[in-house]
């Protein structure tokens, strides 16, 4: 917490705005929209809810297909199933770890041949790093397919001077407890399309028709953010730049201390982009280091240090068994390579220097490197 959250929460209590919606929600939406440079933002109960709303707004329904990054958390794709649609997963590429334009091109070409283009493309900006949006936007424009940017992990990152999440038709952010700023639980849907945002608010508040009684002609959702949680978000947003600077400094220290060890490669930062470095992620070459990812995780756990593998690709998840998957190139699944070799290190914004030094020391010891 930044220390200012209680002021906004107390204001909500003092004015008796406890239920969902209220002045904090309105102000948080306005503050986010201003920060991102978009016309409007709708505060919702989670990032997952925001993706679900985005798919609903784009009329994704039973029998439709949606292209989606495979190297991501399951929440990126679950809403596709909510709509009765079919996910088609797209591999990563090594310079961003994000959606491969090559794999996306192949997926589009096949979809065009059979006359079944996707209703949307969900592009994930993994661990704060932007995908290759110029190439992805060009492909999606060629086939006239809208982009949903899953920027849940990349708030504050930039792509060629443009804020992450604002390039596609719709952008999605998460304020879950583990994100760079949090509302405890919550999310945000953003767009420059006023009609879409008007409809998003309608759908997110149970789709109540403009009638003096409770009348509903459209299926809606109970997805709006609480006025209490929005108060937390207002205070958190005020320190976002501090959080980004802290995360980037943590990443840089890890890179300085570990980057020259043979067999260790850090998640790259694409030219002309800035990552918020939400998580410090790297790959471990077992042949060069003599240690597997799991060996290192186990070694750190013995010192009460939590490290994790990178996300398990969605095309490998039992939930999506049998889903179509396009690899980066023939015989090369980049997402599977990153899953088998990837490691996420402790990266919290409030991480103390002595704690990070201890992580580095323990990691070097697990690799049998003198410290």
Active site residue 179: yes
H/E segment holding residue 98? none
DSSP at 329: B
Q: What's the chain's Rg over C-alpha atoms?
A: 21
Closest CA to 24 of 39, 40, 10, 45: 10
What's the rounded Cα separation, in Å, for the pair 117 and 56? 17
- Count of helix runs (H) and strand runs (E) in the chain: 13, 15
What's the rounded Cα separation, in Å, for the pair 220 and 365? 54
**DSSP letter string, 219-258:** ---B-BPBHHHHHHHHHHHTTHHHHHHHHHHHHHHHHHHH
In the chain, the N- to C-terminal Cα span, in Å, equals: 34
**At 200, phi and psi to the nearest 5?**
-60, -45
What's the rounded Cα separation, in Å, for the pair 226 and 185? 10
What's the rounded Cα separation, in Å, for the pair 2 and 181? 10
Closest CA to 314 of 286, 335, 334, 331: 335
What's the rounded Cα separation, in Å, for the pair 222 and 45? 8
What's the rounded Cα separation, in Å, for the pair 280 and 275? 11
Question: Which of 119, 132, 169, 179 is an active site residue?
Answer: 179
What's the rounded Cα separation, in Å, for the pair 362 and 352? 16
What three-state secondary structure class fits 341? Answer: helix
In sequence order, what are the residues at sequence separation of 6 or more whose Cβ sits closer than 8 angstroms to the Cβ of residue 184? 175, 177, 229, 232
**At 170, phi and psi to the nearest 5?**
-140, 145
Q: Which residues are catalytic?
A: 179
């Amino acid at each position: 917490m930044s220390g200012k959250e209680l002021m906004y929460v107390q204001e909500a209590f003092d004015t008796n705005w406890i239920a969902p919606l209220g002045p904090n929600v309105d102000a948080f939406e306005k503050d986010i929209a201003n920060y991102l440079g978009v016309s409007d933002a709708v505060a919702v109960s989670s990032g997952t809810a925001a993706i679900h709303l985005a798919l609903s707004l784009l009329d994704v329904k039973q029998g439709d297909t949606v292209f989606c990054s495979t190297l991501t958390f399951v929440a990126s794709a679950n809403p596709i199933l909510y709509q009765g649609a079919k996910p088609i997963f797209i591999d990563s590429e090594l310079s961003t770890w994000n959606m491969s334009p090559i794999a996306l091109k192949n997926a589009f070409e096949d979809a065009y041949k059979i006359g079944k283009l996707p209703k949307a493309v969900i592009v994930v900006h993994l661990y704060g790093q932007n995908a290759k949006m110029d190439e992805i936007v060009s492909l999606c424009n060629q086939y006239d397919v809208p982009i949903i940017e899953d920027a849940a992990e990349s708030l504050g990152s930039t792509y060629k001077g443009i804020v992450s999440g604002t390039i596609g038709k719709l952008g999605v952010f998460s304020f879950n407890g583990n994100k760079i700023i949090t509302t405890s639980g919550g999310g945000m849907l953003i767009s420059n399309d006023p009609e879409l945002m008007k409809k998003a608010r309608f759908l997110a508040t149970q789709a109540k028709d403009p009638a003096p009684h409770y009348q509903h002609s459209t299926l809606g959702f109970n997805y709006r953010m609480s006025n209490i949680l929005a108060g937390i978000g207002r205070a958190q947003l005020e320190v976002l730049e501090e959080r980004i600077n802290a995360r980037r400094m943590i990443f840089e220290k890890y890179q300085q201390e570990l980057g020259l060890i043979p067999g260790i490669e850090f998640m790259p930062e694409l030219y002309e982009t800035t990552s918020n470095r939400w998580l410090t992620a790297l790959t471990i070459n077992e042949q060069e280091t003599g240690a597997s990812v799991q060996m290192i995780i186990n070694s750190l756990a013995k010192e009460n240090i939590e490290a994790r593998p990178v996300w398990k690709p969605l095309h490998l998840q039992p939930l999506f068994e049998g889903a179509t998957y396009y690899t980066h190139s023939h015989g090369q699944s980049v997402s599977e390579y990153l899953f088998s070799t990837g490691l996420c290190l402790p990266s919290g914004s409030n991480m103390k220097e002595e704690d990070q030094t201890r992580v580095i020391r323990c990691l070097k010891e697990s690799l049998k490197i003198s410290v």
